[in-house]
Amino acid sequence: FSVGTGQRFLGFAVSSRHFSASSLALGKALVYSEYGAPERVLELKEQPSESVSSGKVLVKMLGATINPADINMIQGTYGSSSLPAVAGNEGVGVIEDPGTSKLKKGDWVIPTKPGFGTWRTEFTASSDELLVVPNDIPMEYAAGISSNPCTAFRLLSDFGNLKEGDVVIQNAANSAVGQCVTQIAKSRGIKVINVIRSREDKELKALKKKMSDYGAENIVTEEELAGPSSDTFKGLPKPKLAINSVGGSSATNIAKRLDQGGHMVTIGGMSRKPILVPTGAMIFKDLTFEGFWMTRWILNSSSNDRMEMINEIAKLIKDKKLKLWYETVPLESYQESIKRSMEQRKDCKLVFKF
């Protein structure tokens, strides 16, 4: 989920893990002491060591993703932090020293809450701040499992009362969340209408081929969607669920395609434009509009619910029913890597490899 630069996500505080000499094990961390542009405020710092005390475990990070929310937190436009803070919300580590906890040496773990500070090589934490994840999937998938795949999983599980044969429509369909929606939906027998922005012919053909390779069907551009008719919709039931990551006219156009009693869920606002709800459709088609924030779900869910979801997603990965694109980069290249991650069009998600 991304919040545009200059826009503060009001009503929620996402507290980033505070940086101090007494809370981190030996290693390195990307730290910011003030809000601002990442290239200006981020510093790669050496960390002092700390022995594992009662109830604590020592974790060595394996990988940590670079997400829009990470950038927004550093900029000060997403949640709040106790400064100085270690950057990064998502990643996977391995238990080096379980201390007196029930965790085992070699367990793979992810943070249970956002704002944990994952862009570092090692840390100590309470065992209840960590969730064990399967260690028989690629490291990059484990590092990124808690955001995009989980968001897609919850959208398809919690909204629209979807069943096999139903139809979902989504904009920004080639985004990381969109890729996950397409593939998880396919595993459940749910069809997806995938809406993307128009591009030059060569680039558009290449994108459609990539999307088709991971199972995407019914791919249309925003312009085609807004047109009077489209062959994409022939033979398909009207969508029960619309997933909006863009806002503006794009949101309006996917809402217009919804069936009677349909549901539109907003998870982002890439266009930085307000959602324009079609009045007639809202009144006469009894449509429902709401937002979804994965962080809220995590904070309100039990560890058993999170574990069940993670295990189902891991099974899809192992069964090759969920394919994502990652590129590993060293922590030392953070300036260039963060710059790349902020580009509007990118082919893969970047993961710091430790």
227 — pLDDT class (breaks 50, 70, 90): confident
**16 — pLDDT class (breaks 50, 70, 90):** low
25-41 pLDDT, tens per residue? 469 999 999 999 999 99
Could you tell me the CATH superfamily of domain 27-146+324-353?
Answer: Medium-chain alcohol dehydrogenases, catalytic domain (3.90.180.10)
Give residue 145's Cα distance to chain centre: 8
- Report the alpha-carbon distance of residue 12 to residue 33 in Å, rounded: 21
* 96 token code pair: 């080096």
Judged against a pLDDT cut of 70, whether residue 177 lies above it is answered with: yes
Is residue 91 pLDDT above 80, yes or no? yes
Q: Please classify residue 19 by burial: count the beta carbons closer than 10 Å to its beta carbon, then call 0-12 exposed, 13-18 middle and 19+ buried.
A: buried
Q: Is the pLDDT of residue 194 over 50?
A: yes
Strand pairing category for 288-291 and 349-353: unpaired
Q: What percent of the chain has pLDDT over 90?
A: 75
| Predicted pLDDT of residue 8 | 32
**Does 53 or 69 have the greater pLDDT score?**
69
266 Cβ contact list (under 8 Å, min separation 6): 244, 245, 247, 251, 275, 289, 290, 291, 292
Residue 202 has a pLDDT of 94
Give me the active site residues, please: 78
Does 148-294 carry CATH code 3.40.50.720? Answer: yes
Instruction: Kindly list the distances between the CA atom of residue 138 and the CA atoms of 77, 144, 213, 328, 336, in Å, as whole numbers in the listed order.
Output: 32, 10, 20, 12, 24
Tell me, what's the pLDDT at 234? 75
**How much is the average pLDDT of 78-106?**
92
pLDDT value for 167: 98
DSSP code at position 259: P
Does residue 247 sit in helix, strand or coil?
Answer: strand
pLDDT band at 345 (very low <50, low <70, confident <90, very high): low
pLDDT at 48 over 50: yes
pLDDT digits (tens, 9 = 90+) for 301-327: 999 999 999 999 999 999 999 999 999
Domain borders along the chain are: 27-146+324-353, 148-294
Q: What is the mean pLDDT of residues 330-349?
A: 88
- In single-letter form, the type of residue at position 84 comes to P
Read off the pLDDT band of 96 (50, 70, 90). very high
Residue 23, pLDDT above cutoff 70 = no
